[in-house]
Structure formats: C-alpha cells, structure tokens
Structure 1
Amino acid sequence: MAEAPTLGALRRQMTAALAAAGVDSPELDARLLLAFALGCAPGDLLGRSDSAVPEAASAAAHALLARRIGGEPVGRILGEREFWSLSFRLSPHTLEPRPDTETLVEAALALLPERGRALRLLDLGTGTGALLAALLVEFPAATGIGIDRSEDAARAARDNLARHGLAGRGMIAVGDWGTALGGGFDLVVSNPPYIRADEMAALAPEVRLHDPPLALVAGDDGLAAYRAISADLPRLLAPGGIAVLELGAGQEPQVAALVEGAGLTLLGPARADLGGVARALCARRP
C-alpha cells in the first residue's frame, strides 16, 4: 500500500499543477482547495505540513484540483466568496463579488465619513448582496434596499444578509432597477452589467462559463444599464444624495457624460482600483 502523502507535499503538488495550467494565484488556490477537501479553515493548515492526508481527502483534493484546472473559479467550487472581509454564498444566478468592487465601498466611505448617520441606501443589481451588506456593516444606523432582476439572485442576497445578521436593516426585492421605488436615498450604488455583447467570447473562461450573462452583458455598447440607471438617479436620490457606479475599463468618459446629462454633479475623476483602473464613478444630486 502506498504511503499517504503529507499535507505539505500535496499542497506543493497542487500548486505546481495550477501554476503549470496558468492559474494566476496557484499557491492561494491550492491552499483554499486543500482546506476545503479536508473540511477545515485555510489557517488550520499552518504547521501541519508533515501530517498525513487521508486517502479520501487526497482524492477529494485532486477532484477539486481538476475542476480548477478546467477553468472553474475557486469561489464557484467552494460555493462562497469573500468580500470586504465578509463571506457570501454564491448561486449560479449571481456574480462572484470581486476585489475591484470593494473600490465602491471605499469611495462611499470617503464621501460619507459620518458613520453613525441613519442613511437610506440602495444597491441596484445587488447579486449576492455583497455591496449592500458591506455598507450596512460600515454604517450601523443605515437601512437599505437591494434590487435584482433575478428572483434566484434576490433569494441568495436575502440569505447572505441574514447570514450576517443584517436582515433587520436590509430588504431585497425583485425589480427592473429602481423603477418601482420612491426616492429619498442618501446613497445609491451599483455594479451593473457593462460588457459589450461582442466581448463575451474573449472573456476568461472563469467569467464566460460561470458568471450569469444577465449580470454581465449590457447591449451592443455595454452602456444600456448605465443609461437606465443614470436617467433615474435624479428621482431616486435625495437632494445632496450620492451615487457610486462601478465602471468597466475605459468607460469613464461615456458614463460620466450620461450622469452629467441627467443633471448630477461629478465628484472628481473616478476612483481607481488596486490595478489602476478607473473603477468607481461618484456623483451628487444638487
């Protein structure tokens, strides 16, 4: 009978296989997948390099490894993804919340430094509810609404708010952007679809094959969602209210023109994400 591999050896093997497959973060992915196979937290792997890995766990780790090499994102494999230090369960009908979108939370906090205000928040296209949940955590006196066109995504968002003890301050509804809502919101945030239809084929398989097209594609020019949202922002926002919109790469000029055309005042250039991409466009209703 072959000797059981040690945890350290298996992790090195998985890391090498992921690196050879061109995965961007092979060490991190190997650690997350191995911990999942063992049924423990990633931090529990520390100091256990010489521990033998049971045969069943080793087989499970190799099965997970094959899925990742095949292009399935780690978040989809694990069924959840971290955002703003909170964990969110995914569904096939939600995007994976990504670090770039945390730029919107940073922008909102910079523009609204009084954390104790009883703000009214609105998240258009809420998906997992990650943006709304992060803002409710940072503004403990705030209440908020998340809207999504997908009933399945709305169900996932409700579950995630409840998971973090936020269901009492956050409501999730199904709708066509904010058309069914009254106004008076102090902060409106959105990570809308912004991919052009002809760009889908060129997207990474992690996105193209695993994220829902409804949450990705916004017409032939990628601006359809921005047009609808921008036109409604003057009605949705309270006087002095702030909108923070996520941008796709290179979209700042077009979206800024739509927002200004709707009568809002831009609050400087878009805030860049960690990769230097203009990511969070901020505007205020006069």
Structure 2
Amino acid sequence: MTVSQLYRQVRDLFRDAQIELPELDAKLLVSAALGISISDLMLRGDDPVSETKSATAKTHAEKRLAGMPVGRILGEREFYGRRFVMNPATLEPRSDTEALIDAVLALSVPTQEQLFCDLGTGTGAIAVTLLAEMKRSRMVAVDLSFEALSCASENADLHEVSDRFLPLCADYASALAGAKSGVFDWVVSNPPYIRTHDLGMLSPEVIQHDPVLALDGGVTGLDSYVRIIAQAEMLLKSGGRIALEIGFDQAGAVEKQLRHHSFGAIEIVKDLSGNDRVLLACRQ
C-alpha cells in the first residue's frame, strides 16, 4: 500500500461515516501515523507504507469513527499556531479561545513587563501563548488538578517559557488569598461555563472526552465567574485588567458581576462566528 492509497482509504471511511471534516481528519491522522507532515503526505504519495504504520493509521481511524476527537487521538492540538499536548485532565484547546489572546494582546505592549494570573489554566494554552507572545511577562498559572498543571508545565517547557511560568495547584485564587493584594496586571480565564442541565446536550465528542470539571459551570453556568471576578478584584492592581471567555448568551450576566465588583471599561469581543466570546474589564 502507498501513502496515497492509505490516505484515500481512511478518507473514504470518514466520508461514509459522515465525519464533519473527512479530508482534514484523514490527513491529520495518517500523517501522524506515518511521522510525516501533511504536505509530505501529498508529495510522497507513491512511497510504500510499512504494515506497522498502516496498522497505526487504521487504529487512529477506528478511534475517530468511534467518536474520539482527532486531538484526543493524537494527544495534542494546535492553538494560536503552536502545538499543545493534552491529557485526560485538560480541556481540548479550541480556536474560539484565540479571541481572548487577540483581545489581551491588543491592549498590551509586547515588550512591556506584566504579571498575569491564569485561573483554571488546563493545558496552559492561554498562559503559555501569552508568555510566548510577550517576552518579558510572567505568569502564575493556577489549576485545581495536579495532572492538568503537569500538562501545562510540559507545554511551558515545549515552548521555552518555563522560566517565566509558575504553576500553582489551588482552587482558583484561594492559595493567593494571603498574598499582597493588587499585584497583578492581568487576570485571564476560560472557566467552566456550561449550565449543568445543558451538559447532556453537548456532542458526544465533547462530553465523553473533555473533563466535566472543565465544563460544568453550575446551575446557571455562572458559578466560576462569581468566584473569579471577586478574587480578581483583590488580585489586580488599580488599572489592572481581566479577560474572561464566556458562553454566547452570558455577556449580560457576567457584566453585571463585573460592575458589582467595581470593574469598568467593559468591552465585549466576538469570535470569528460572530458570537460574544470574551469580556474585558478594568479594575477601577
């Protein structure tokens, strides 16, 4: 079997199963199994494939057909042009969250030294990306899961920002309660915001493979925001900013919480689909 034949075989299986993006998923899984780039997948179409690598590709395909997302199969996902490894304790980074990165960078000077706190860091996608883009900034990355923090630290090493990356295992900012207040320039977070009763409406790819801890935002979906915003009021220096990813219908409720805790200059940022995605605010 050649590279092209293997790719077409997997692609056709995905088409028959009505996978949403059969060509892309086939390219990603087959190229990973063969240890080559997607471009080489096309350029080396006539190369023979060993039985071992063919079997690996078919195993990947079987997992995809069973509903496992490509990122979970490969154990990694691209975010903001960088590769991030994942583990079972972390949410899979998604392109919608890149709107938060863009929003923070638009209000920052890349060469400026700033102190960030990422609450619920997961893979560290937000934290590591901001450090990679802002070469003089530092980050306290907090997560309740030690396994998730281990993954985030691995990603910090991968992208060579570990010297400015401080992982902290805690329930949001609880471990910082005794620290000096008003020291951070930014608090950023992509917290759980799915209403508990809506979890069953999520696609099987999400609910069966992403950790519920990173999805469940309580009865109203606002539990995490209530805590994070109250803590951010203490953590941020005067003029410091907060950036929160939100659900498409949560802007009004989260904005109310921000105003209750004396935040102003509130701005809603939409994602590429036109949905409300990020709330920015400034501590007055």
Matches within 5 A, 1:28-67: 28-67=24-63
CA contact (8 A) 1:260 1:266 kept: no
The answer to whether residue 91 in structure 2 is matched with residue 95 in structure 1 is yes
CA deviation vs aligned residue, 1:167-211 (integer Å, no higher than 9, x gap):
100111111111222331111110000011111111111110001
Matches within 5 A, 1:84-163: 84-112=80-108, 114-163=109-158
Q: CA deviation at 1:267?
A: 3.0
TM-score (norm 1): 0.94
Give percent identity, aligned residues only.
42
Match of 1:82 among 67, 78, 100: 78
Secondary structure of 2:249's aligned partner: coil
CA contact (8 A) 2:128 2:156 kept: yes
Q: CA deviation at 1:71?
A: 0.8
Please name the residue that 1:71 is paired with. Answer: 67
Q: CA deviation at 1:162?
A: 1.3
Give aligned pairs, total.
Answer: 280
Name the CA distance, whole Å, in 2 between partners of 1:261 and 1:43: 52
Secondary structure of 1:11's aligned partner: helix
Q: CA deviation at 1:23?
A: 2.2
Name the CA distance, whole Å, in 2 between partners of 1:85 and 1:68: 23
Please name the residue that 1:244 is paired with. Answer: 243
Q: CA deviation at 1:39?
A: 2.0
Please name the residue that 2:199 is paired with. Answer: 200
Q: CA deviation at 1:9?
A: 2.5
Name the CA distance, whole Å, in 1 between partners of 2:13 and 2:103: 38
* One-letter amino acid of the structure 2 residue matched with residue 100 of structure 1: D
Match of 1:274 among 272, 275, 279: 272
* One-letter amino acid of the structure 2 residue matched with residue 81 of structure 1: R
Secondary structure of 2:230's aligned partner: helix
* One-letter amino acid of the structure 2 residue matched with residue 125 of structure 1: G
- Bigger shift: 39-48 or 164-173? 39-48
TM-score (norm 2): 0.95
Name the CA distance, whole Å, in 2 between partners of 1:22 and 1:256: 40
Unpaired stretches in structure 1, ≥5 consecutive residues: none
Please name the residue that 1:217 is paired with. Answer: 216
Please name the residue that 2:261 is paired with. Answer: 262
CA contact (8 A) 1:150 1:174 kept: yes
Secondary structure of 1:92's aligned partner: coil
* One-letter amino acid of the structure 1 residue matched with residue 187 of structure 2: V
The answer to whether residue 171 in structure 2 is matched with residue 171 in structure 1 is no
Name the CA distance, whole Å, in 1 between partners of 2:249 and 2:23: 31
Please name the residue that 1:14 is paired with. Answer: 10
The CA RMSD over aligned residues, in Å, is 1.2
